[in-house]
Amino acid sequence: MTSPNFVSPSQIRAQFSAAMSAMYKDEVPLYGTLMELVADINQNTLQADQDLRKNLQQAKELERLDEERHGAIRVGTPEELHTIGRLFAVMGMHPVGYYDLTPAGVPVHSTAFRALHEDELRVSPFRVFTSLLRLELIEDAALREEARAILANRQIFSPDALQLIAQCEQDGGLCAEDATRFVNEAIKTFRWHGESTVSSAQYKDLHDQHRLIADVVAFKGPHINHLTPRTLDIDSVQASMPKYGITPKAVIEGPPTRQHPILLRQTSFKALNEPVRFADQDANEQGSHTARFGEIEQRGAAVTHQGRALYDRLLNAARAELGEAPAEHNAETYSALMQKHFEQFPDTLEQMFNNDLVYFNYLPTPKGLAKAGSYDANTSIAQLIQAGDVRLSPIVYEDFLPVSAAGIFQSNLGDGANSSYAQLSNQEIFESQLGQSVIDEQQLYAQTAERSLEQCLHALGVQR
């Protein structure tokens, strides 16, 4: 039985997201600048585009915008991943999707912890891209075992966090006071530690293997690697970053600029060089580590299987025609090629609906509501849209893109990280390490669209 005194997991998630943002702003002041930049541009965009404002208002998305962000963490062992899953479950966040980054030369596989239902997402869409290091991909056997031993020795959760997770699992929830305690304990796992657990020589060995391996193995815990606010206009953000003293990566990841954005577009700035004291260093000595960076994203429509297949095909075609990885020197060519290839992805809501490319919310218009109850049975949604009685509003994409994620990883790992690992992907291994299956995001979007359709037809009095 759930106690009436429990706060909802969504409220805990909102509280946690705010606490993470405050902590990260403290740790990385540039993140504060990024938030200002995004807030300014969002405000300008909404002022200039009243239709967009109205749409977001009607879709109840305006409120969540300022609170919207995703984080990224990298854990070192299956046990850590498993407990992270339990920790996020307290906040109503569950693993959605499987991302294999090894083909892109990044020795991790990942999932996104997030809320599942549109009502919960409205309270807090906070999500965390969570990667598990694949130690088995370290070629040097001695180093691999050393890394394994170092990771086996760390405890990334506070005793109180572990106790509160267990309590929540047992009782079915947390009261307000325990929820606040939980948030305060849980964020400790993700904070930055200026002291490394390894010597400078060990760090160098790990780093030489892969910078990401050093980032995971040499520290006390999975420090939050970036926290990404959501903008309504990423092209403006990209153009304005230099004015704020920030140098963006050369190309925006994801689809090109469109009238109706789809999926996810992201840009980032280079990782910070941060002071670190290694285990062999005394108070006067210092080394450094670069891993944490800033990222901004624009979210568009969730696409169907067909939409995703078309996206992947056009992205691959543009990349194939470019003939090399997108970078500084070919950024303009890449952008032109993307625009050219994506002309094949319809860019009106009607075309995307007719071709079943995007998931939609269905909103009855005032004109439709005035006719409520007078429709013939079996009036189709297509007819209602055609008549102007129902308006289409794309469902927001809540997930990530592996090619973009790889691009983000690589732009921050420096050169030499582009070789790919021969190892096959293994979702099953990941799921057994996580202790649960990952949820298929397509199913979630289809369910949200179906609920919206049902509510819409109900409001119009149309029998199905």
Q: At what angle do helices 427-434 and 78-90 cross, to 10 degrees?
A: 60
Measured CA to CA in angstroms, residue 368 lies from 38, 201, 315, 452 at distances of 36, 70, 39, 15
Min CB(359)–ligand OOG separation in Å: 20
Tally of helices (H runs) and strands (E runs) in the chain: 20, 13
Q: Which is nearer to ligand OOG, 202 or 412 (CB)?
A: 412
Stretch 285-304 residues interacting with Ni ion (CB under 5 A): 295
Q: Which is nearer to Ni ion, 129 or 345 (CB)?
A: 129
Could you write out the DSSP letters of every residue in 276-293?
A: EB-TT--TT--EEEE---
* 273-276 and 108-114 beta bridge pairing: unpaired
Q: Which is nearer to ligand OOG, 21 or 404 (CB)?
A: 404
What is the four-CA torsion angle of 247, 250, 252, 258, rounded to 10 degrees? 110
Which of 71-79, 111-119, 229-237, 346-354 is the region at the interface with Ni ion (rule: CB under 5 A)? 71-79
Binding partner of residue 227 among Ni ion, ligand OOG, none, CB cut-off 5 to 8 Å per kind: none
- Phi then psi for residue 287, to 5 deg, are -115, -165
Q: Which is nearer to ligand OOG, 129 or 360 (CB)?
A: 129
Q: Which is nearer to ligand OOG, 10 or 404 (CB)?
A: 404
Min CB(266)–ligand OOG separation in Å: 6
Q: Which is nearer to ligand OOG, 13 or 391 (CB)?
A: 13
Stretch 72-131 residues interacting with Ni ion (CB under 5 A): 72
Min CB(405)–ligand OOG separation in Å: 4
CB 21 within 8 A of CB 103: no
CA 169 to chain centre: 26
Q: Which is nearer to ligand OOG, 229 or 346 (CB)?
A: 229
Min CB(251)–ligand OOG separation in Å: 14
Question: Alpha-carbon distance 68 to 64, whole Å?
Answer: 6
Query: Smallest Cα–Cα separation from 189: which of 227, 220, 164?
Result: 220
Binding partner of residue 74 among Ni ion, ligand OOG, none, CB cut-off 5 to 8 Å per kind: ligand OOG
Measured CA to CA in angstroms, residue 407 lies from 17, 84, 182, 323, 325 at distances of 25, 25, 34, 16, 9
Min CB(73)–ligand OOG separation in Å: 7
User: Rounded to the nearest 5 degrees, what angle is found at the Cα of 297, between the Cα atoms of 191 and 417?
Assistant: 70
Min CB(393)–ligand OOG separation in Å: 24
Min CB(110)–ligand OOG separation in Å: 7
Measured CA to CA in angstroms, residue 218 lies from 110, 128, 186, 414 at distances of 20, 21, 21, 19
Question: Alpha-carbon distance 105 to 217, whole Å?
Answer: 18
Q: Which is nearer to ligand OOG, 157 or 400 (CB)?
A: 400
Question: Which residues make up the interface to ligand OOG (CB under 6 A)?
Answer: 72, 74, 129, 131, 225, 266, 295, 400, 404-405, 408-409
Binding partner of residue 359 among Ni ion, ligand OOG, none, CB cut-off 5 to 8 Å per kind: none
Min CB(128)–ligand OOG separation in Å: 9
Q: Which is nearer to Ni ion, 229 or 261 (CB)?
A: 229
Min CB(3)–Ni ion separation in Å: 36
Question: Alpha-carbon distance 453 to 122, whole Å?
Answer: 18
CB nearest ligand OOG: which residue? 405
Binding partner of residue 400 among ligand OOG, Ni ion, none, CB cut-off 5 to 8 Å per kind: ligand OOG
* HSE-CB of 349 using CA atoms within 13 angstroms: 16
* HSE-CB of 389 using CA atoms within 13 angstroms: 22
CB 438 within 8 A of CB 95: yes
Q: Which is nearer to Ni ion, 185 or 295 (CB)?
A: 295
Binding partner of residue 409 among ligand OOG, Ni ion, none, CB cut-off 5 to 8 Å per kind: ligand OOG
Question: Alpha-carbon distance 117 to 96, whole Å?
Answer: 12
CB 84 within 8 A of CB 140: no
Min CB(223)–Ni ion separation in Å: 14
x/- contact string, 178-217, with Ni ion (CB under 5 A)? ----------------------------------------
Min CB(129)–Ni ion separation in Å: 6
x/- contact string, 244-283, with Ni ion (CB under 5 A)? ----------------------------------------
Q: Which is nearer to ligand OOG, 291 or 318 (CB)?
A: 291
- What sign has the CA pseudo-torsion 408, 411, 412, 415? positive
Residues that bind Ni ion (CB under 5 A): 72, 228, 295
